[in-house]
Amino acid sequence: CWMDVLIFRAYVEGIRDAFAELDPENKSVYNERASVYIAELDELHAWVIEQFEQVPAQRRVIITSHDAFNYFGRAYGIEVHGIVGISTDQQATARDIARLEKMIRDKGIRAVFYETSVKNTLNNMIKQIADQTGIKVGGSLYSDSLGEQGTEVGTYIGMIRHNTTTMVEALK
């Protein structure tokens, strides 16, 4: 659910409330910090919508290593497909690959995407699909994790910005 910024916002509200209940003396601190972060999330949500407006609706289709971006897709009007489902332990079949290759050709999909938190086998399949269909690998997306601590993608906001920018640039 965390790929939908508005759902993630609800997590922040829940955490704020839980901390305030456990530590009522500092409730105002939790409220203040959460308010600042929630405002940043609201700005982020609007920014993501604005970025995808640069991509024609028929091009808003992504194919990734596994089915991790459904909430993102639903929130921002992106059609999402993965080689495998939610579990990265699933085994992709030749039929899965053929289905995606046909979809790329039929829909004129411009790029496929690696994910940073999956086995190399799945990302190798993404490369194979790109090679077989003549499209590009649009870059790497963070799905089930953040980047390294201390980097921009090591924060939730930075990760969402990176993923959005990577997708938009590849799909334009």
Mean pLDDT by runs of 10 across the 172 residues of the chain is: 89 97 98 98 97 96 85 94 65 82 94 86 90 95 85 92 97 92
**pTM greater than 0.75 (yes/no):** yes
User: Looking at residue 143, what is its pLDDT?
Assistant: 84
- Sign, CA torsion 109/113/119/120: positive
| Spatial CA neighbour of 129 closest among 108, 104, 106, 92 | 104
At 112 the pLDDT is: 96
pLDDT the model gives residue 121: 81
